[in-house]
Structure 1
Amino acid sequence: MGRASMLRHDGRRAALAFLIVSLVMTLVTPLHAQGLSKDAPEGTGKARHLNLVALGDSLTAGYGLPAAAAFPVQLEAALRARGHAVTVANAGVSGDTATGGLDRVDWSVPDGTDGVILELGANDMLRGTDPAVTGKALDAIVARLKARGIPVLLAGMRAAPNLGPDYVRRFDAIYPRLAERYGLILYPFFLDGIAGDRGLNLADGLHPTKDGVARVVAGILPSVEEFLARLRKGA
C-alpha cells in the first residue's frame, strides 16, 4: 500500500472513530443531564415543580381580601422569590370546621398534589366545639391524605383564653399530639405575630389584612421550606 493510500485509509479510520464517539456522546449526555436534574438538590439544577394545596378556612381563603392578597397567593409568591418551583392552590372555605374539611378533603385535594398545608380548627374553637371532635376530624384528614401518599404540614391554632383553662389545655394539645403521632412538620400557631394586633387585622379583629397575611407568610415560610425539602427527598 502506497503512502497516499495509507493516509487515505488512516483518515477514513479516524473519521469513523470520530463519528462513533460523537454518536455515543449524543446519546449519553442527555441521559446524564437528566440524571443530574432529577437528583440534584435545589439550587444546583432544575428542581421538579411541586403542587401544594392549602386546605383551610377563611384564614386560608382570604376572607375580606382581594384574591391576590390571600394566604396561598402570597405564600406562592414568597416561595418563588426564593427560587422554589411551586404552586399553592387555595382550598380554603370560609366558616369551615375540621369536620367540614374532612367532608371535602377528597375533592379539595386532587390527584397529583405533592403536599398539603392543613389549617383548620379556628372555627371549632370559636364555636366551643369539643376538642375531642376537632382532634378526631383532623386526625382523619391526615390519615386519609397519608393513605393517598400525600404529606401534610400542620398549621396549628390556639384557643382564646376566655374559653377557660380546661378548654384551652385540651384544644391547644390537639396539634402537637397530631404532629407527633404522624411525624408532621408543625407550625404551632398560624396567627403568630398578628393575633390581637388591630393594625394587622380587619375590623372584626379575627381576619388578617393584606399586611397581616404577609406577616403570617413570613412566619410560616421556614416551616414550608423545610416541608418542601422533605417532599423533594421523598420523606
Structure 2
Amino acid sequence: MAVVLTVGVGAAAPAAGAEALRLLVLGDSLTAGYNLPQDKAFPVQLEEALGDAGHEVTVLNAGVSGDTTAGGRARLDWVLAEEPDAAIVALGGNDGLRGLDPAQTREHLTAIVRRLKSEEVQVMIAGMLAPPNLGRDYGEAFNTVFPEVAERTGVLFYPFFLEGVAADPALNQSDGIHPTAEGVSVMVENILPKVERLLEKADPCGCSSD
C-alpha cells in the first residue's frame, strides 16, 4: 500500500509572517485513518486541534495500514524528504497483533528514533500495549519496549496511543481495533498536551504560535 502523506484538511492557515512547523505522524492504520473519511483521520484532527490552540503546524500523515516498526524503519528516507521539524512515532501495534519478537520491535523502534534525531527532528514515541490473548510473559516483554526506548534515546513518551479509546465499543469500529471518528477525537484530546510539549522542543522561541 502506498504511503499516505497529506496535509490536514480544514486547519487554519498560517498567520502572516509565521512559518508553520512540520509535524510528521509516522504510523500504521491508526494514523492512516482506516475506514474513515480523510478529514477525520488522526493527523487531520490533530492539525485542527493544534490550530484551535494557536499553533501554526502542518501535520503530515505518514501512516500505512498494516505497517510494523520494520516497515516504518524501511521508509524513513522517503518520509524524511518532507523535512519535518518534529515526529510522533506511533508504530508497534501490528508488531503486537502479529506476536513479533519484542526484541526486534525494540531494535527497529530504536533505529527509527535515532535516525530522526540525527536529522535534528524532535521525537515523541506513542506507546502501544500487547493484545491480552498473547499471554502475560509476551505482554510484559512487549509493553516495556516503548518506555525503555524513549528513556534510552531521551525523547518524549506518551504511554498509550489509544488511551481512553481501546476496548470501548462506542469509540471503535466493528472490528474492535480501529477507532471511529469520535474515537480519534478522544485520542487527539488526550495526546494534545504532550504534542504541545513536543512542539515547544521543536520551536523553543514559539515563532510558529500565535
Shorter-chain TM-score range: 0.7 to 0.9
2:203 aligned counterpart, secondary structure? helix
Query: SS at 2:74's partner residue?
Result: helix
Deviation of 1:231 after TM superposition, in Å, equals: 1.1
CA shift, 1:181, in A, is: 0.8
Per-residue Cα deviation, 1:25-79 (whole angstroms, up to 9, x for no partner): xxxxxxxxxxxxxxxxxxxx96542001100000000001010000000000000
Q: How far apart are the structure 1 equivalents of 2:199 and 2:118?
A: 19
Name the structure 2 match of 1:121.
Answer: 92
Amino acid at match of 1:49: A
- Aligned match of 1:106: 77
Q: Is the 8 A contact 2:122 2:201 kept in 1?
A: no
Is residue 191 of structure 1 aligned with residue 173 of structure 2?
no
The corresponding residue for 2:12 is none
Identity of aligned pairs, percent?
Answer: 54
Instruction: Point out the more displaced range, 143-152 or 74-83.
Output: 143-152
1:222 aligns with 2:193: yes
Q: Determine whether 1:204 maps to 2:178.
A: no
Alpha-carbon separation, structure 1, partners of 2:153 and 2:32: 26
Matches within 5 A, 1:66-215: 66-215=37-186
Contact 2:121 2:202 in 1 (8 A): no
Question: What is the alpha-carbon root mean square deviation over aligned residues?
Answer: 1.4
SS in 2 for 1:65: coil
Structure 1 counterpart of 2:101, which letter? D
Matched to 2:198, the amino acid is F
- The structure carrying a bigger helix percent of its residues is 1
Pairing 1:59–2:30 present: yes
Letter in 2 for 1:121: G
In structure 2, distance between residues paired with 1:177 and 1:186: 10
Name the stretch that deviates more: 171-180 or 143-152. Answer: 143-152
Unaligned runs of 5+ in 2: 1-15, 206-210
Once structures 1 and 2 are overlaid, which stretch shifts more, 95-104 or 141-150?
A: 141-150
Distance (whole Å) between structure 2 residues aligned to residue 99 and residue 175 of structure 1: 15
Secondary structure at 1:60's aligned position in 2?
Answer: helix
* Maintained 8 Å contact 2:110/2:153: no
Deviation at 1:111, TM superposition (A): 4.6
For 1:144-185, what per-residue CA distance to the aligned partner results, in whole angstroms no more than 9, with x for missing partners?
A: 111111121110001122211111111010111011111111
> Which moves more between the two structures, 100-109 or 74-83?
100-109
Q: Contact conserved, 2:22 with 2:58, CA < 8 A, in 1?
A: yes
* Higher RCO (Cα < 8 Å, 6 or more apart): 2
Structure 1 position 112, deviation (Å): 2.5
Task: Report the 3-state secondary structure (helix = DSSP H, G, I; strand = E; otherwise coil) of the residue aligned with 2:162.
Answer: coil
- What secondary structure, in the 3-state scheme, does the structure 2 residue paired with 1:233 have? coil
CA shift for structure 1 position 233: 1.9
In structure 1, list runs of 5 or more residues that go unmatched.
Answer: 1-44
Q: Who wins on radius of gyration, i.e. which is larger?
A: 1
Instruction: Name the count of aligned residue pairs.
Output: 190
